[in-house]
Structure 1
Amino acid sequence: MDGVAAEDTVATDISTTRRPVRDHSTAIVWILCSAAFIAMLDVFVVNVAFTNIAESYRGSSLADVSWVLNGYAIVYAALLIPAGRVSDRFGRKAGFLVGLGIFTLASLACAVAPSLWTLVAFRVLQAVGAAALTPASLGLLLTVLPPTRVPGAVKVWATTSSAAAAFGPVVGGALVEASWRWVFLINLPVSLVAGVAAMRLVPNHHRRTPSRMPDLLGVALLIVAIGALSLGLVQSGEWRWSSAATLGTLAVAAVGVAGFVARMTRHRNPVVSPDLFRVPTFVWANVTVFAFCTAFGAWFLSMAMWLENAAGFDTMGTGLAIVPGPLMVPIFAAVSQRLISRIPVGIVVALGNLLFASGVALVLATASTPVRYAADVLPGWLISGVGIGLALPSMIASAAVDLPPDQSATGSAVVNTARQLGYVLGVAVLIAILGSLDAPADRMLTAFQHGWLFIAIVAIASAATAFGLTPRTRQS
């Protein structure tokens, strides 16, 4: 009987080994990228719905309504790194699914919110979910895919999330025509499909080893530092840069950063390992991403505001006018993939940033009132889209390629925090430069030109830092 059992076991093993194993790599990429896409999309579609939300809650001031945007931005930026650290320690798949679940339930709650401050509270909960799923999704791409698929998958991830910023005005404009509440309801079907598919297809490669909790005081200091910095930046337009409130929040941020760095260098299990900052490509990628996203965030908002306020486009018209630039992003992201097989990635990213700056400079040089979209806006807008396509996916991929696998989610969270803070800073500086939009046409044009000059200078600075991006591990 033992012999028969042994033969059966061998037969079973042979049958198992001969059974073809299906490769779900492509499906996994799209599952993880779709979730990251909706998390980023929600940041930008709500901008379009802002006026309609304010009209729904009559009696609320614009400053109060602005917390629908600011609450999300601050919490999202503050929690990215702690959430990435938790995913690295306790499982990226679990972090992704929990984050997606929180995001989905909060989206439904936002859609039915009966009051403004209820909506703000559920937007904060949305940000908690988005902060959990974003680094976990990129961390999973880095660890569950075959090594040959990782660089291309990371570029798809970066391209889809940047496309969310571009297509947000179009999607938001179409949904707001029915009701601003559809801006949140649209998340439900995508989230549910992604969640079910992830449970079935995404493997869980978490190591079953004892895990110590990360430094809780360090987590608290980091949240305070990034939260205070984001608060100071987003409120600087209303509070003024020189006000006690702005300077006080920035001082709190500085103290929080100092305390966090001290804990990071001394604690046995820090939130962010100091070893990450000994990886040159990681450091330069964060600097480059921060500068690029400062310019990128200000550029997209400035164009939407220019078309609505100077050209007189309605919400839907503005969204459609914005589409041509973003269409260049996926096309030239594929071009960048081919280029970096022959040219160092730092040079490709620098070229992309210089093209981005050139597109902004062309709009700066040709802008006039009344606005001639085809002559004044479209050429520079297309060139900037080409540059963004070459630069952004490659710089995100470069940040992660040299990191150890057990730090991938934390590292991606650091990069995405730099990205989010860049957006916040770019918008804050642009609003400060533009001031009131009730000015005459000539003064409005001058204000926008000053804003575009700022954007072009920052994009050029990002090109300069990009030369440090070429990783030790050659991408393919």
Structure 2
Amino acid sequence: MHGASKTTTPPPTRDRSTAIVWVLCSAAFMAMLDVFVVNVAFSTIGESYRGSSLADLSWVLNGYAIVYAALLIPAGRFSDRVGRKAGFLVGLGIFTLASLACAVAPSLWTLVAFRVLQAIGAAALTPASLGLLITVLPQAKVPAAVKIWATTSSFSAALGPVVGGALVEASWRWIFLINLPVGVVAGISAVRLVPDLRQRVRARVPDLLGVALLVVVIGGLSLGLVKSSEWSWSGGATLGVLAVAAAGLVLFVVRMVRHPDPVVSPALFRVPTFVWANATVLAFCTAFGAWFLSVAMWLENAARFTTIETGLAIVPGPIMVPIFAVVGQRLIKRLPVGVVVAVGNLLFAGAVVLLLATAATPVHYATEVLPGWMVSGVGIGLALPSMIASAAADLPPDQSATGSAVVNTARQLGYVLGVAVLVAVIGSLNVTPDRLLTAFRHGWWFIAIVAAVSAATALAITPRTSQS
């Protein structure tokens, strides 16, 4: 019919939610993997830089851990202000380029400097990736996406020794080169797939003094913890650094309350779910950080496993994590999320007690270590994804990256604290098998008690937002 108007139906918009989740999770996985993967390459790196002391070599690990923990909250604040996509891409770019620089570092202190640069990038992309998941996905898909994010990043902690052990067989430099293809693919995919949703607020300059104080607090606390075994807990250096961190915390709280645009809004700490979830994450990760290292050290020093054998022996536990993360998601449709997290943490504590009851020398992996290790994977799968998701459930969208940075700072501090306490409790590894078993039993009791505490705090997690 001549002159009739033709109505056209626009093509349906393609749902890219799944692709966005995997792009963001792969980058967060890579950043968290580097926290753990370097541990297995530690001795090999030392062989490349002859004449370096153990104390100097330790900064390859400690420099990354301290800067990563110290900058998570300021970087999250940065992403909330300039846009989470921009924060994510900047962090990913820095991390990828720094990885390449680490791989070709000609000297130890050059490697340490580039590890610090890596940590800066990781600190930027980690909260931005979680903040993006919360804001760019359809609301119905956010809880599941956050749990995938939490599961993949925690999975990296367990896969670190396996991946690192395999790559070190060729060269320790490959543990950094492997980040390049992941970083490039994730960056290109993020540019194309992830929408750039910015908060329609006037971007004021945040409290720069507050940022500096927060770096002093987190950096000082992390430094005191990671060096306590070398300096001693009662030594002047340890006490001095911790005192500086404590003084900085007092000043930071004053600035947070009084400044018109603080680094961390006090309103976040008026959200009960956020507070209790952070307390649970801190306790849980303290136990998890010590547990993971203790099992690896037990296999290498008591069972005399090689690096590759240790990595392979660790695999069965992490396999349980994604399986029971799915089970946990189904359970919270029928039970309060705090109850599910508490059950997971109690299973974790029970797994440690199981190893306590069966451990002996000589070590029999299949009957003594494996059962407790797999049960702990069940507990971790039930607990960790849900507690991370709960922490962000009741936060306003414009605080999502900052809030997720606080959660990840609690998480990172937990790892640092757990490792520091474990090393202090175990002491020397060059002792008789009986004394070594006694030392590890003391460490495992510490882990079991802290895991039980995290189960108690989990019961107070009651988000208003549905987590199903």
1:73 and 2:73 equivalent? no
Could you tell me how far 1:320 is from its partner in structure 2? 0.1
Residue aligning to 2:149: 157
Q: Deviations over 1:250-295 (max 9, x none)?
A: 0000011101100000000000000000000000000000000000
Residue aligning to 2:197: 205
Where in structure 2 are the equivalents of 1:303-452 lying within 5 Å? 303-452=295-444
Residue identity over aligned pairs, in percent, reads: 78
Aligned-partner residue type, residue 75 of structure 2: A
Aligned-partner residue type, residue 374 of structure 1: A
Q: Deviations over 1:301-324 (max 9, x none)?
A: 000000000000000000000000
1:246 and 2:238 equivalent? yes
Residue aligning to 1:179: 171
Could you tell me how far 1:390 is from its partner in structure 2? 0.2
Q: Distance in 1 between matches of 2:311 and 2:120?
A: 28
Residue aligning to 1:471: 463
> SS of the residue aligned with 1:422?
helix
Listed as ranges, the gaps of 5+ residues in structure 2 are: none
Could you tell me how far 1:24 is from its partner in structure 2? 0.3
Could you tell me how far 1:209 is from its partner in structure 2? 3.8
> SS of the residue aligned with 1:311?
coil
Residue aligning to 1:49: 41
Q: Distance in 1 between matches of 2:418 and 2:24?
A: 27
Could you tell me how far 1:207 is from its partner in structure 2? 2.8
Q: Distance in 1 between matches of 2:43 and 2:444?
A: 25
Q: Distance in 2 between matches of 1:201 and 1:183?
A: 28
Q: Distance in 1 between matches of 2:47 and 2:106?
A: 13
Q: Distance in 2 between matches of 1:297 and 1:93?
A: 30
Could you tell me how far 1:208 is from its partner in structure 2? 4.6
Q: Deviations over 1:56-100 (max 9, x none)?
A: 101000110000000000000000000000100110000000000
Q: Distance in 2 between matches of 1:289 and 1:364?
A: 24
Listed as ranges, the gaps of 5+ residues in structure 1 are: none
Aligned-partner residue type, residue 77 of structure 1: A
What TM-score does the superposition give when structure 2 sets the normalisation length? 0.98
Residue aligning to 1:196: 188
Could you tell me how far 1:470 is from its partner in structure 2? 1.7
Q: How many residue pairs get matched?
A: 466
Aligned match for 2:20, one of 28, 37, 52: 28
Could you tell me how far 1:47 is from its partner in structure 2? 0.4
Residue aligning to 2:130: 138
Q: Distance in 1 between matches of 2:309 and 2:121?
A: 32
Q: Is the 8 A contact 2:199 2:398 kept in 1?
A: no
Q: Deviations over 1:376-418 (max 9, x none)?
A: 1000001111000000000000000100000000000000000
1:148 and 2:140 equivalent? yes
Q: Distance in 2 between matches of 1:278 and 1:452?
A: 35
Q: Distance in 2 between matches of 1:92 and 1:475?
A: 23
Aligned-partner residue type, residue 226 of structure 1: I
Q: Distance in 2 between matches of 1:407 and 1:27?
A: 24
Q: Distance in 1 between matches of 2:384 and 2:201?
A: 35
Q: Is the 8 A contact 2:345 2:379 kept in 1?
A: yes
> SS of the residue aligned with 2:363?
coil
List structure 1 segments (4+ residues) > 2 angstroms apart after TM superposition: 207-210
1:112 and 2:122 equivalent? no
Aligned-partner residue type, residue 36 of structure 1: A
Aligned match for 2:280, one of 288, 297, 311: 288
Q: Is the 8 A contact 2:285 2:415 kept in 1?
A: yes
Residue aligning to 1:82: 74
Residue aligning to 2:294: 302
Aligned match for 1:257, one of 237, 242, 249: 249
Could you tell me how far 1:474 is from its partner in structure 2? 2.0
Residue aligning to 2:454: 462
